[in-house]
Each structure stands twice: as C-alpha cells, then as structure tokens.
Amino acid sequence: QKEVEQNSGPLSVPEGAIASLNCTYSDRGSQSFFWYRQYSGKSPELIMSIYSNGDKEDGRFTAQLNKASQYVSLLIRDSQPSDSATYLCAVGTGFQKLVFGTGTRLLVSP
C-alpha cells in the first residue's frame, strides 16, 4: 500500500513566523507532489505543485522536494491567522491518481 505520512499537529506558530510542514512518502517511483490547503468545512484547494528536486517558490509559499529521502515540505513565510487550516500532502501514483496524507493542522496565533 502506497503511503503518505504527515504529522497531524496541531502545529502552532505566532503571526509573522515561518511555518514548516513536512511529509514523507513510500513510493520511490512517484514523480509529482502537491500541497492542498483545506479550511474547516471546505474542500481542498491546490496551493503548490512540485515535480523536481529542490525548491519552488510562490509568494509566501515554498515547496521543497528531496526524492532521495522521499520527503516533501511546505514552508509558509510571514504566517497569517488566515493561514490557519489543514494542509494535505498528496503524491501522484499510478494512472493520474493521488494518494493523500491525513493532513497537518496549522494554527497561527495573532
């Protein structure tokens, strides 16, 4: 069974700090990796995708991928209370399918 593991949290950070969210995956053949943000009672929203080793930056978000270590992370700089949500890591596996982690809950306090 292909797995994606995340710490469930909550991860608590003060406003303005950097939040670091981590994810490990089991399928060495995976080539595509995603971060989704999910507010309570809402559906997941795609915020980052990464396909190559290294960093990818988009505004306050940076995704980091290390395929050798089977590790994906999401950094959120200058965290805001509006970033408080559950962040889901997803890994592409098989034909167009994604396997999701159970998510990390982030709490940003003012």
Can you say whether the dihedral through the CA atoms of 31, 37, 38, 42 is positive or negative? negative
Kindly state whether residue 88 participates in binding another protein, applying the rule CB under 8 A: yes
CB of 88 to another protein, least distance (A): 7
Neighbouring C-alpha atoms within 13 Å toward the C-beta of 1: 5
The residue with tokens 């965290």 is: 79
Region near another protein per CB under 8 A, out of 12-20, 21-29, 40-48, 64-72: 40-48
Confirm or reject binding of residue 44 to another protein (CB under 8 A): yes
* 17-36 positions binding another protein, by CB under 8 A: 31-32, 34, 36
Q: Please, which of residues 53-82 interact with another protein by CB under 8 A?
A: none
Examine residue 96 and tell whether it contacts another protein (CB under 8 A): yes
Size of the site for another protein (CB under 8 A): 22
Distance, CA of 8 to CA of 52 (rounded, Å): 26
Task: Fill in the DSSP letter of residue 18.
Answer: P
CA dist 76 → 8, 30, 73, 98 (Å): 17, 24, 10, 23
Q: Does 47 bind another protein (CB under 8 A)?
A: no
Residues that bind another protein (CB under 8 A): 31-32, 34, 36, 42-46, 49, 51, 88, 90, 92, 95-98, 100-103
